[in-house]
């Protein structure tokens, strides 16, 4: 599945709950996402006025020479969620230490979807623990592969 992934999200955050949301995009952004162009690194979701918005995501135009002069690749994009999901996200965002982060953006049929999650920021020692676990798993796979 083509799309954009936020590789740092699982490293920087402890993910608790996941949601799938639609995104309001321009035509040139849709083509760009389908080709896998863009970045979700440093992006997050904010809630205002009963709506969710994706902030900090970079989606370059599909054809830069044909894009409008005033096109902003870092613009805020509205997320399409159900009222129940918005209410759950609102409660989570008001809890101290919880953040709503995008995990990936992909196309499903003719629609573009974003996987978002509620996450708690990891401390430095948690990140070290994650690195250590990843290294030991890699070593185990290597030794099993040799046998």
| Span 114-125, average pLDDT | 83
pLDDT grade for 1, boundaries at 50, 70 and 90: very low
Comparing 78 with 36, which gets the higher pLDDT?
Answer: 78
- 117 domain residue, yes or no: yes
Residue 45, strand partner residues = 54
Residue 41 carries which DSSP code? T
Minimal CA–CA distance to 88: which of 118, 54, 114? 118
Domain of 41, in residue numbers: 3-121
Residue-level pLDDT at 84: 92
The structural domain count of the chain equals 1
- 102 domain residue, yes or no: yes
**What is each CA distance from 121 to 11, 32, 63, 118, in whole angstroms?**
9, 30, 36, 10
Residue-level pLDDT at 110: 85
């Amino acid at each position: 599945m083509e799309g954009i992934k936020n590789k740092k999200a699982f490293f920087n955050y402890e993910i608790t709950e996941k949601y799938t949301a639609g995104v309001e995009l321009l035509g040139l952004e849709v083509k760009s996402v389908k080709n896998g162009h863009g970045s979700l690194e440093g992006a997050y979701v904010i809630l205002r006025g009963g709506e969710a918005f994706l902030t900090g995501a970079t989606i370059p135009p599909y054809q830069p020479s044909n894009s409008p002069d005033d096109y902003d690749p870092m613009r805020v994009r509205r997320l399409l969620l159900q009222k129940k999901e918005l209410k759950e996200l609102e409660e989570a965002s008001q809890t101290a230490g919880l953040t709503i982060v995008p995990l990936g953006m992909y196309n499903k049929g003719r629609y573009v979807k974003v996987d978002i999650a509620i996450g708690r920021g990891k401390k430095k020692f948690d990140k070290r623990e994650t690195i250590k676990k990843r290294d030991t798993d890699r070593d185990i796979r290597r030794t099993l592969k040799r046998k």
